[in-house]
């Protein structure tokens, strides 16, 4: 056992600190500043799960989304960027909604947070939070909101969850998302519910999950052996699709890594 450890055990941690302070005073050294532990929101501003509980958003609790958001959005923590969330919550109840917008604001101290809802949610507006009235089933309405915001770095679809609306929103706004941006679709369980305009048929091409699953094939379009295949916009501009329970996170970027199919399939291509 070292002398330092022996002294600690005899005097105790508190008395050891007192002795150190006395030694600094005698030697003329300035006292070390006491680090104050953050309190309130500052104490949990690094943890989306805790922020979700604090602001009472169902992104943690009813769902388990914030753990995945933390992983995929952490790199933006102290960056200046624009985040748009479709669906503000509270339906048509006066004074309700905005919980997740406040959560995003607390987690991203330099971001501008925007929300769009079919209901007027202007009561949520405050510093760095701006809301718009808009209809996600209407491309012109979506584009009008996007025009007002400008650059779109993160888009979160937490709107009606009806597959036709999800498809329209994605087709309209994904092309407007910046390269390197993140596009999120929440509550994809509605894709399986006929009562929510979904379908029990897992192969129904008109559901939001069917569209999202097709994106995974598009990631590998360069491996298709059909020489006449023309890659789509999403084929060329998606570099990652991450599926979680009722949540899909899409990474935008230039998808052109190349292929080894000609060397791997020599017999096929030798005929041509």
Q: What amino acid positions are annotated as catalytic residues?
A: 161
What one-character-per-residue DSSP string does 133-185 give?
A: E--TT-HHHHHHHHHHH--EEEEEE-S---HHHHHHHHHHHGGGEEEEEEEEE
Structure tokens given for 199: 């379908």
The pair of three-digit structure tokens given for residue 251, joined into one six-digit string? 């990474």
For residue 155, give the nearest of 137, 136, 140 by alpha carbon.
136
Q: What is the rounded CA–CA span in Å between residue 162 and residue 208?
A: 8
Q: What string of DSSP letters covers 12-32?
A: -HHHHHHHHHHHHHHHTPPPP
**Tokens, residue 49:** 């799960």
């Amino acid at each position: 056992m070292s002398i330092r450890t022996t002294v600690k055990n005899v005097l105790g941690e508190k008395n050891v600190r007192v002795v150190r302070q006395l030694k600094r005073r005698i030697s003329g050294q300035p006292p070390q500043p006491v680090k104050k532990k953050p309190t309130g929101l500052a104490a949990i501003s690094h943890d989306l799960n805790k922020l979700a509980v604090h602001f009472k958003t169902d992104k943690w609790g009813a769902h388990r989304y914030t753990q995945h958001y933390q992983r995929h959005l952490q790199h933006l923590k102290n960056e200046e960027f624009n985040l748009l969330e479709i669906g503000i919550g509270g339906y048509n109840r006066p004074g309700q909604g905005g919980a997740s917008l406040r959560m995003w604001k607390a987690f991203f101290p330099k971001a501008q947070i925007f929300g769009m809802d079919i209901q007027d949610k202007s009561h949520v507006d405050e510093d760095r939070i701006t809301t718009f009235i808009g209809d996600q089933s209407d491309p012109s309405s979506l584009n009008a909101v996007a025009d007002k915001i400008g650059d779109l770095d993160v888009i979160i679809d937490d709107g009606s969850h009806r597959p036709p609306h999800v498809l329209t929103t994605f087709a309209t706004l994904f092309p407007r998302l910046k390269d390197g941006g993140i596009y999120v679709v929440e509550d994809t369980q509605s894709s399986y519910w006929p009562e929510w305009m979904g379908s029990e048929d897992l192969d129904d091409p008109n559901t939001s999950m069917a569209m999202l699953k097709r994106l995974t094939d598009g990631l590998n379009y360069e491996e298709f052996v059909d020489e006449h295949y023309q890659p789509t916009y999403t084929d060329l501009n998606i570099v990652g699709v991450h599926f979680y329970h009722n949540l899909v996170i899409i990474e935008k970027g230039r998808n052109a890594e190349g292929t080894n199919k000609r060397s791997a399939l020599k017999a096929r291509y030798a005929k041509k």
